[in-house]
A and B are shown apart, each in its own frame.
Chain A
Amino acid sequence: MTNWNAMSDEEFRQIARKFIEDNYPQKLRYPSKRLRWAEIKDWYFTQSKAGWIAPGWPVEHGGMGLAPGKLIIWVEEQENYGVGRAPDHGLTMIGPTIIQLGSPEQKAQYLPKIITGEHVWGQCYSEPNAGSDLASLRTEAVLDGDHFVVNGQKIWSTLAQDATHLYVLVRTDKNVKKQEGITFLLVDANTPGITIRPIMTIAGDDKFCEVFFDNVRVPAANVIGGVNKGWTVAKTQLGFERIFLGSPKLPQYALGRLEDIAMKIGAFDDALFTDKFTQLKLDVADLNALYRRYTEIVRRGGQLPPDVSMLKVWSTETYARIASLMVEAAGAAGGLDGATDLGGMTEDIMTHYYYARPATIYGGSNEVQRNILSRATLNLPG
């Protein structure tokens, strides 16, 4: 077995780059929309067969056991090549959770099938009345013999229509502080009583779903972290995700598109546009510097401070400003839905403008991020 961590960073980077270049489908580079399982599953299987599918997981569970520094390199190389994101909740969210908190039986049952791609996981957290205030969720699970009976409705479950399994936060105690009556459940998506309904977005796609639970019977053995301990499980899960939500990838890509468009249509002849563009270019450059601050902490094995929430705020809001300038620069074409010709290049002007909207909402809205920063970093009173 290859000892990846014994390699120099540069050697590992070259190998990672070559693996991606040799195997990632050219036509899926820099996808303008989130890819569905059917579109990108071959890339998933390729990585799985080569042993590359779970770089951050320990070797004994089928991962590469990459040290954090090597993991960052792997992510950077994917970003540089424009590798699309496969439905990856199994790899990034629930797999590591099972590794950390699951029973030996749960590990044996679920982990190998995440590695092979046989199981595709979806997340069921938010509810119609529990968005930013997630802890107020009401989907209920009542114990009946050795099963929980689940009733309720979840929403904004990304790509749940492609999932074979769902991890769900449910209420198991209504008589305690809201955070202390929540349980984390693993659910087979084919269990009778589950209905998954995609939601059409204003961007014209259906990557978000509603998930309805109607007397769904879930084995009591499918609890992770203990009954009424689900909030703690969900919180630890979100720790490492924040840094990826703040990746400069999307704003950098959009800025490159904006620059190409601006060159084609002669926007740089306008000093006002050039100043706005330069401002955004500096915003992205400084975002990269901020991102590197946190990846450096991870690389050295340190713990991320709470102010990592800044990254998500700055990354998504910079992305939104770039998208706005793109629409502004396009003039009359800024009102078109779908691809159009701009001085010899074809571009869907609205893609980024649409995707900038959920970007500042998901993963904890930017307002919630600011609440966190206000309390945890600035120590302002609650």
Chain B
Amino acid sequence: MMSTPAAQVAEDPAEEQRRMLRESALAFAANELKPARMRTLRLQPVQFDRKLWKTMAEMGWTGLMLPEAHGGSALGIADMSAVVEELSRALLPEPLVASAVFAGNLIAHGDNDALKAKLLPALVAGDLIPAVAFQEGLKIDSPVQSRAEAAGKDFVLNGVKSYVRPGAGADGFVVSAKCGDGLGLFWIPAGTTGAELKLERSTDGTDIGTLTLKNVKVGADNVVASAKVGAAAFDRAFNEALIAGSAELLGLMRGALDMTTNYLRTRVQFGKPIGSFQALQHRAVDLYLQQELTAAALVEVARLFEEGGSGDQLNALASRIKARASDAAMQIAREAIQMHGAIGFTDEYDVGFYFKRIVALSAWLGNSAEHRRRYAACSGIGKKT
């Protein structure tokens, strides 16, 4: 026992800034993000709202992590995660993580300053929605087969990229391809000759794409990253997307669990609120525990990531949080339906939107099993001497 007076806990300036970012995201979510939006957007050819995206850009969120030279705020992954978490909690189909974090940072980490000067200010302003087309095959570690052959100063690309998010509504794609001995990254605007986009419906009601490239010509001015720096640039942006993507899952967990505990408090059966039954209470506590474990791990991972480290260390950190967030979110999503009972399985009840978005985002960028494998490989598990 220790007599600890309820002293005012002092905030450091970085924390204060993060709290303010959180508060502005919360206020925005309260005004702009209604679950009913999900019902109309899923019927549209593009399942997010470009007008809202423009407003988000005005809030500074599309450029939050991007360099100041291109109009961004150059903030870190912890700040970005705070914004993503609060918006996601209120259901956000707009591709903040996919376009602003993953694609935006990937362009910024490249070595083509002229291209950055062209693309990044447009992303910051909310006028450009880029997507990353990296994956080939079912797993994130499926080897890249796409090739970029040099043709003078230009390149010719061939290959097939799958699970591209956003698919519908993307203005262009950052495409990874084998280039000599390295990995090159190339900017291919939507509608480029030879680049065909096929859409598939994701569980969350958005369309994701398969991009087939047949002899697509890419000029030197559209090389995002040369083969020298491509792999490192990709790893860094991928890791940042994993952390922000985990924050997005955490927001969804909070939204789904809030709805569920609220239901447990108010739904009466056998003459009592069902939340008075211990069988449900203990399971609800376990969900809360997983949510808070994710939240605590996210804070730590973001902090350590910003402090820096070797490639393997950073990969392990990012995979650690994506593995936790994916598992925790899937568990919360399943239990949210079960605890609601049959009403939770109906399309008219909103908890299904959380369920479906969690399923989609847990798989996107690699599910928990894939990230445990990546974590094990990067942290030398089983290799101790």
> Count the B residues whose beta carbon is within 8 Å of the partner chain — how many?
46
Given the interface pairs A275-B373, A279-B372, A289-B300, the reply to whether A374 lies near B281 with Cβ below 8 Å is yes
A93 CB-CB contact with B under 8 Å: yes
Which residues of B are found within 8 Å of A314, using beta-carbon distances?
289, 293
Bitwise, A351-382 to B at CB < 8 A (1) or not (0) is 00000000000000001001101100111111
Q: B264 near A56 (CB under 8 angstroms)?
A: no
A313 CB-CB contact with B under 8 Å: yes
B88-96, B153-161, B177-185, B374-382: which lies at the interface? B374-382
Min CB distance B335 to A, Å, is 13
Docked pose: A259 CA to B6 CA in angstroms: 42
Min CB distance A374 to B, Å, is 4
B285 CB-CB contact with A under 8 Å: yes
Q: A263 near B382 (CB under 8 angstroms)?
A: yes
Docked pose: A344 CA to B304 CA in angstroms: 37
A residues sitting closer than 8 Å to B (CB atoms) are 56, 68, 92-93, 96-97, 100, 236-241, 259-260, 262-263, 268, 274-275, 277-279, 281-282, 285-290, 292-293, 297-298, 300-304, 307, 310, 313-314, 367, 370-371, 373-374, 377-382
Q: A293 near B261 (CB under 8 angstroms)?
A: no
Given the interface pairs A239-B1, A378-B284, the reply to whether A275 lies near B369 with Cβ below 8 Å is yes
Q: B4 near A68 (CB under 8 angstroms)?
A: yes
Docked pose: A80 CA to B367 CA in angstroms: 34
Question: Of A93, A237, A240, A370, which is in contact with the most chain B CB atoms at under 10 Å from its CB?
Answer: A370
Q: B375 near A278 (CB under 8 angstroms)?
A: yes
Given the interface pairs A286-B296, A310-B289, the reply to whether A378 lies near B384 with Cβ below 8 Å is no
Which residues of A are found within 8 Å of B288, using beta-carbon distances?
307, 310, 373, 377-378
B61-69, B271-279, B305-313, B358-366: which lies at the interface? B271-279
Q: B297 near A289 (CB under 8 angstroms)?
A: yes
Docked pose: A378 CA to B278 CA in angstroms: 13
B residues sitting closer than 8 Å to A (CB atoms) are 1-7, 9-10, 261, 264-265, 272-273, 275-276, 278, 280-282, 284-286, 288-289, 292-294, 296-297, 299-301, 320, 323-324, 369, 372-373, 375-376, 379, 381-384
Q: Name the residue of chain B whose CB is nearest to the CB of A298.
A: B4
Q: B299 near A293 (CB under 8 angstroms)?
A: yes
Q: B1 near A240 (CB under 8 angstroms)?
A: yes
Q: A290 near B381 (CB under 8 angstroms)?
A: no
Q: List 6 A-B contacts (CB under 8 A).
A: A68-B2, A237-B1, A286-B297, A290-B297, A380-B261, A380-B273
Which residues of A are found within 8 Å of B265, using beta-carbon distances?
379-381
Q: A277 near B381 (CB under 8 angstroms)?
A: yes
Which residue of B282, B293, B381 is within 8 Å of A286 (Cβ)? Answer: B293
Which residues of A are found within 8 Å of B382, using beta-carbon distances?
262-263, 268, 274, 277
Q: A381 near B285 (CB under 8 angstroms)?
A: no
Which residues of A are found within 8 Å of B4, using beta-carbon distances?
68, 240, 298, 301-304
Which residues of A are found within 8 Å of B284, using beta-carbon distances?
374, 378, 380
